[in-house]
């Protein structure tokens, strides 16, 4: 297990080093996220105060599209010059490749959230003061489930020519339970004055675990050199 963890860190560090050199993914994803927020702001009428429930719905749109771009870009690094085959030839547990990609995607998505969320707070005057930590926890947990499914399907479609469109088509419906659960939790927190000590959090974590375990188990089967 320690050996797998070492490989996960090694491969994620490699991905982040490549990203740091080009800054292609994080730059694109942040610009896309801000564009989505601005377009939604123009459509929905920015400037009027919005509750945490509304905030989570708008932010999810930015996170979903930004996330798909992250998944695609981090996997395309492995397809250039067939670097993936180099990894598949190594005597490592192939689930380490999945875990490293998931870790990289989560780091990139959290970077996106760190930039896009404050922009949305300013633009929409989101009022998160009632439960700022609850908001962060629910959105973070939602992202884990989304990234778990997205990382798996990015590997599956990376060898096809359809890529972007196909990935979004596959991942969006599958991560719907996570998105719906997190927005319902937000409604409970901000609109109904409830707390996180409810069944909703357990449901969200259960979805995360289910997606993580299923993706971990299936990942090796979807990898094609």
Residues in contact with another protein by the rule CB under 8 A: 7, 10, 14, 17-18, 21-22, 77, 80-83, 85-93, 225
- Residue whose CB is less far from another protein, 7 or 131: 7
- Residue whose CB is less far from another protein, 82 or 213: 82
Angle CA 151–153–159, to nearest 5: 110
Angle CA 125–29–102, to nearest 5: 110
User: How far, in Å, CA of 8 to CA of 98, rounded?
Assistant: 8
Q: Give the nearest distance from C-beta 82 to another protein in angstroms.
A: 3
DSSP state, residue 193: -
- Residue whose CB is less far from another protein, 70 or 149: 70
Q: Give the nearest distance from C-beta 25 to another protein in angstroms.
A: 12
Q: Give the nearest distance from C-beta 164 to another protein in angstroms.
A: 21
Q: Which two three-digit tokens encode residue 150?
A: 């997205």
The alpha helices in the chain, defined as continuous H runs, are 2-22, 24-44, 52-79, 83-89, 95-124, 132-157, 164-174, 176-186, 199-222
Q: Give the nearest distance from C-beta 114 to another protein in angstroms.
A: 24
- Residue whose CB is less far from another protein, 69 or 223: 223
């Amino acid at each position: 297990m320690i050996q797998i963890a070492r490989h996960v860190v090694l491969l994620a560090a490699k991905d982040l080093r490549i990203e740091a050199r080009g800054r292609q993914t994080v730059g694109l994803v942040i610009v896309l996220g801000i564009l989505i927020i601005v377009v939604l702001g123009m459509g929905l009428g920015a400037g009027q105060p919005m509750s945490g429930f509304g905030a989570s719905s708008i932010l999810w749109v930015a996170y979903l599209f930004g996330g798909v771009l992250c998944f695609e870009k981090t996997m395309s690094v492995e397809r250039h010059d067939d670097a993936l085959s180099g990894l598949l030839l190594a005597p490592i547990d192939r689930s380490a490749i999945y875990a490293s990609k998931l870790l990289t995607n989560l780091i990139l998505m959290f970077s996106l959230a760190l930039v896009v969320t404050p922009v949305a707070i300013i633009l929409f005057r989101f009022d998160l003061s009632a439960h700022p930590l609850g908001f962060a926890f629910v959105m973070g947990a939602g992202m884990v489930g989304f990234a778990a499914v997205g990382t798996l399907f990015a590997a599956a479609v990376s060898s096809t020519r359809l890529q972007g469109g196909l990935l979004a088509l596959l991942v969006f419906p599958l991560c719907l339970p996570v998105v719906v659960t997190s927005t319902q939790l937000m409604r409970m927190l901000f609109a109904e004055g409830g707390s996180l000590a409810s069944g909703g959090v357990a449901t969200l974590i259960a979805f995360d675990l289910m997606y993580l375990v299923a993706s971990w188990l299936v990942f090796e089967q979807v990898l094609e050199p």
